[in-house]
Structure 1
Amino acid sequence: MDPVIVVGAGPVGLSLALALAGSGVPSVVLDEGPGKDLPRPARTVVLHEDTSAMVHRLGCTTLRDEGALYAAWRTLRRRGRADDAPRTTFEDRQAPLHLPQHALARGLRDSAGTHPLIQLVTDSKLDSLEQDDGGITAHTRGAETTWWRGSYLVGCDGARSTVRKLLGIRFPGRTAVERHAVAALRTELPWPGEALLHRDPPRETTARPLPDGVWRLDWLLPACGELVTPDALVTLIRDTLAAWCGGTTPPYELLDTGVHTLHHRLARRWRERRAFLAGDAAHLLGALGTQGVDEGLRDAENLAWKLSLAWHQGGSEALLDSYEDERRTAVAARLRAADQAMPVLRGGGGLRTYLPGATRSGELLLTDGHLGRGPLGAAPTYAPPVAVREVPTDTEPGGQVANVPVTAPDGSTVPLRDLLGRGRPLVVLVAPGTGVWDRRHWLGAGLMPRLAAAVSALPVRTELLVADGYPGAPAHTVLLIRPDGHLAATFAGVRPAELYEAADALRCGAPESARAELDPPSTTPTTPTHPAVID
């Protein structure tokens, strides 16, 4: 079967290719540029717990080398002293990661460049595509003119997406909902390693730590204000640093500057037959602490396992449609929350008028967005196709599972999230005490033989694991987990028929005959030959 064509080699496109490769699906990544990521310290990304775990699984070493933890988020109030400011603290594993976008892209590109299932093609600009019942054909121009044949195609080619335009998909929304002046500089602030949010309406300033003593500073600008001149930006920097450092501007080295304009847009459709949209090609957001790259990575993780199932075994149309249903709904909710909150935070309206039941201050609402909590920042929950919840746990169905240690039948014990992203669901049996038993004792004891037989009979290839415990779950609870780490169902003990029904619902039913004819079903990854070029 032909590889998946990924258009765009930014963080989302590279992550999608790596996620597909992790489940044995080959891809061709078409990069319009030369394959180099120019350093721009003022262009950074924030990754929350789920997306940073995903990127780590994909082999991006820059998370370890250059990622800076938000050890705490301070909210500085008007005329308030920093030492008296409210603090939000959390464990390191829950802390957002902040790093330059070029460092993230470089780490992902390095990982993709060494993977045998990924072909990176530079200087290739897409200019046409054609679809038929058997696949999709793309034409690129650049160093050489080439036709590419793929099973599916995903446009990860940014806000001005050529894929979206070729598919004729509208991209409505709002332009310039916020403008920020941005500067990256090396200096010492009184709060090393801590992110700051300073509100003195109408002025709003954020400062985020980066590696090597570098900070990114953002100043909210009037929506229709004048251009920010270099002299005006230097004055803004000096005044801000002086206000934070006792009235004296500390020494600093200015590394990069820019003006960042935020738009809120949402593509009408995210799928057109065999073509899909992801990342900025599908949505633009970023106001009030929402994170566009975060959402793009979630697009990639959601779509990768569905394309993997379709590639290996044939996927139902409903399964492929569920990508748009789930991800567009989640991003639309984020945009709606930001649009509702903006009049409150920018125009002085009543908070209850726009966010019913909310009583928190604007500062805390903004903090939630930056920290990945609440409607502005929390990880999405997807409604399971079959609401099976025989056993309540601390994770609601559709929510992201806790990262508990699990043991595989080969005896290895690893964090649960390390086993995600392989294109297959997980079944976890909660069996206290197994963590200290030799596998030969528990593999053939208790519920395991019956559960192993039930798992082997499921309609999709599934990995069986054991956990010593799971938050809120009693012994003998069985968890069915999607390949992207969202909880699908919980059962009290071994229920083969119910487990089969839930697994079948997870894949949205059996593949249609037309899709099954595309390629013989396979349950094991294959290694096709590259490149998929039509001469």
Structure 2
Amino acid sequence: MNTSDSPVAVIGAGPIGLITALGLVAHGVPVVVFEAGDELSAETRAGTILTRTLEVLDRYDALGPVLEASLRLDEIGEVDRATGTSTGSVLTSALAGETRFPFVVNVPQHELEPVLASMLAPGTVRMGHRLVDFTQHEDGVTLQLSTPDGTVGFAAAYVLGCDGGRSTVRERLGVEVGGHTLEQRYMLVDLVCDLDIAHPRDYPYLAYFGDREEWMVLVRQPHCWRFVFPLAPGRDEPASDELRDKARHFIGEVGSLEVLGSNVYTVHHRVASSWRDSRVFLLGDAAHLITPMWALGLNTGVLDASNLPWRLAWVLRGWASEALLDGYEAEQKPVAVHGSGAMAEAARAVMDRRSDSVAGWRDAMTRTLLGVRLGADWSMTRTGPLRVGDRAPDLRIFGLRGPVHLHELCRDSFVALHLTDARRRPFIPADGPAGLRQVVVSRWDAPHDSGLRSRAYFDPGDTVRERFGDVVVLLRPDAHIAHIEPWTAASWQSVQDRYLLEVRLAG
């Protein structure tokens, strides 16, 4: 890092703050996380992690411990409450050709947060540090933090506000939040009951019971079942006996039901007017409050945590200009405003039986957030040829020592894939601008005398070329496509110029 010796300060140790910190660490950026509370959250909150989030965790070397703590599932079921019959399921196994993780997982937030925090170096997460104020300077930000030992100062290179819907960072910036709040609230309750042996039900581990009068979501967590259902405006929070009766109303008599915890959500679709002020950024709920339906709340925030860390790393390494940071809000805000917002409305329509759910490949791409396209032509699903802004499919190819996947190639680098014939000895430079690698992907293994062995990958059956075409494609560190064009002998120069444009160094 050659522009500042100060670490990046992350405000808030919820899932988004912790995943953002893990992303910065994965890119070699020093980071400190400040959390106002004395302990991580123990509330009954978000519980499903979608496939795109699993890919982000894998890229940040954080997936293994999360999977150990989770319950994996390959079916998102839709059930008609009145009849108890299935109305269709989204089968994530349809995505086996798209990702190494063709499933989603269930894990309660209060169990997820300690797992994420444990993967950060000791001293990275500082509990009992409440942000009071901050002052921006040309080369950094000075923070004032309230601690048990009094007010302390801290010098940071950047500040990332991951401090939730009541964000202090957003308040200090004076940023307004627009949108609406639904009158309807959501009740979430964790119950222990036997639906496996004594009272088998065979429900999918994630099941949406749709009904025009009252819907319910049933989530199998590692140690309990989670029930989510709507509360009418003004309705008091039900007592434990009422919660047990409500569960039986949907799933029938199942013997004893033990209430472990509950929570009431106010449902929003509200987005901050601005996500950046110089060296200060907003992420997650601080930037957008999205309904938790279809697991959109946490997982939309993880898309923010996927987009910003690599940009900061490129700037701090001197590989990009500060203008690269402008792309964070430009890309992520449309996803929150239009993409997740539209999905939230679709979710409510399906649950209220105002719309039918379908269960094909396109729906699996949408419901797992693998179909998110970034950029001006944002989309939550894609059809047709791969385009700029799409998440690249995580296809398998082979290096000199065995299999490797496309997302692994670009974990901490832009990578240009030249989909051409390695036998013809295309010129691919060994050196170039910092942060860019150029490689050949070919169904013809590179001959030993080609000079390409270290920069060539074997593609049996032309799998990658069949998906992309005869092109050169530039992948970003977050596995989204930055550029794609027909391949020519001069593509190496074209890609190099395009990379410099992407990182705002061209011209």
Fold shared by both chains (TM-score > 0.5) = yes
Contact kept? 2:193, 2:258, Cα under 8 Å = yes
Aligned equivalents of 2:331, 2:401: Cα separation in 1: 35
Match of 2:429 among 452, 464, 480: 452
Give the equivalent residue in structure 1 for 2:172: 166
Distance 1:10 1:480 in 2: 33
The answer to whether the Cα contact below 8 Å between 1:124 and 1:140 also exists between their aligned partners in 2 is yes
SS of the residue 1:364 aligns to: coil
Mapping 1:357-372, distance limit 5 Å:
362-364=355-357
Aligned residues: 464
2:395 to 401, 404, 409: 404
Instruction: Return the offset for 1:344.
Output: 5.1
Preserved CA contact (<8 Å) 1:73 1:367: no
How far apart are residue 74 of structure 1 and its match? 2.5
SS for the counterpart of 1:472 is: helix
Partner in structure 1 of residue 198 of structure 2: none
Moved more, 67-76 or 196-205: 67-76
Match of 1:530 in 2: none
When structure 1 is superposed on structure 2, of 300-309 and 96-105 the one drifting more is: 96-105
Is the CA contact (8 Å cut-off) linking 1:393 and 1:473 kept in structure 2? no
Task: Tell me the residue number matched to 1:436.
Answer: none
Structure 2 unaligned blocks of 5 or more: 196-200, 378-382, 440-454
Counterpart for residue 462 of structure 1? 437
- Once the 2 structures are TM-superposed, how far is the Cα of residue 37 of structure 1 from its aligned partner? 4.5
1:250 deviates by: 3.3
Contact kept in structure 1, 2:350 and 2:357, CA below 8 Å: no
Per-residue CA distance 1:276-295 (angstroms, 9 max, x = gap): 01011111002542511111
User: Which of these residues, 208, 227, 240, is aligned with residue 217 of structure 1?
Assistant: 227
- The match for 1:358 is none
1:76 aligned residue (65, 74, 79): 79
Q: Which among 298, 302, 305 is matched to residue 297 of structure 1? A: 302
- The 8 Å contact of residues 382 and 399 in structure 1, kept in 2 or not, is answered as yes
Distance in 2 (CA, whole Å) between partners of 1:260 and 1:230 is: 17
Deviation at 1:31, TM superposition (A): 1.7
User: What is the rounded CA distance, in whole Å, between the counterparts of 1:207 and 1:504 in structure 2?
Assistant: 48
Greater displacement, 270-279 / 69-78? 69-78
- Give, in angstroms, the shift of residue 342 of structure 1: 7.8
CA distance in 2, matches of 1:369, 1:182: 29
TM-superposed CA distance for 1:119, in Å, is 2.5
CA apart distance, 1:106: 1.4
**Corresponding residue of 1:518:** none
8 Å Cα contact 2:144/2:154 also seen in 1: yes
Match of 2:273 in 1: 268
Asked whether the equivalents of residues 142 and 153 of structure 2 are also in contact (C-alpha less than 8 Å), the reply is yes
Residues 69 and 96, structure 1, Cα contact 8 Å, conserved in 2: yes
Note if 1:31 corresponds to 2:29. Answer: no
- What is the deviation of 1:415? 2.4
Q: How does 1:54-65 map to 2 (within 5 A)?
A: 54-58=56-60, 59-65=62-68
1:120 to partner: Cα distance? 2.3
Q: What is the TM-score when the length of structure 1 is the normalising length?
A: 0.78
Q: Aligned partners of 2:247, 2:77: CA distance in 1, in Å?
A: 19
Superposed CA RMSD in Å reads 3.2
Provide the TM-score with structure 2 as the length reference: 0.82
The CA deviation at 1:483 is 0.8
Quickly say closer, same or farther: Cα 1:477–1:372, change in 2 above 3 A.
closer
1:102 is matched with: 110
Deviation, 1:270, is 0.4
Q: What percentage of residue pairs aligned between the two structures are identical?
A: 23
Residues 69-468 of structure 1: pairs in structure 2 closer than 5 A: 69-82=72-85, 85-91=87-93, 93-113=101-121, 119-144=124-149, 145-189=151-195, 190-191=201-202, 193-212=204-223, 214-242=224-252, 248-286=253-291, 288-313=293-318, 315-338=320-343, 341=346, 362-364=355-357, 373=366, 379-383=371-375, 394-407=385-398, 411=401, 413-422=403-412, 424-430=413-419, 446-447=424-425, 450-453=427-430, 456-458=431-433, 460-462=435-437, 464=439, 466=457, 468=459
Worse overlay, 58-67 or 264-273: 58-67
Where does the alignment leave 5 or more consecutive residues of structure 1 unmatched? 243-247, 349-360, 386-391, 433-441, 512-535
- Which residue does the alignment assign to 1:43? 45
Mapped to 2, the partners of 1:228 and 1:170 lie a distance apart of 34
The structural deviation recorded for 1:143 is 2.6
Match in the other structure for 1:478: 472
Q: What code does the residue aligned with 2:475 have?
A: I
Q: 1:481 to 1:314 in 2, by over 3 A?
A: closer
**Displacement of 1:430:** 3.7
CA distance in 1, matches of 2:37, 2:408: 32
Q: Deviations over 1:436-470 (max 9, x none)?
A: xxxxxx7xx6446x2134xx223644364635131
Alpha-carbon distance change, 377 to 261 in structure 1, aligned in 2, over 3 angstroms:
farther
Change (3 A) 1:471 1:68: farther
Instruction: Provide closer, same or farther for how the CA distance between residues 266 and 367 of structure 1 changes in structure 2, counting only shifts above 3 A.
Output: farther
Secondary structure of the 1:159 match is coil
Does the Cα contact within 8 Å between 1:7 and 1:29 map onto a contact in 2?
yes
Cα 1:502–1:314, aligned 2, differ >3 Å: closer, same or farther?
Answer: closer
1:216 partner letter: R
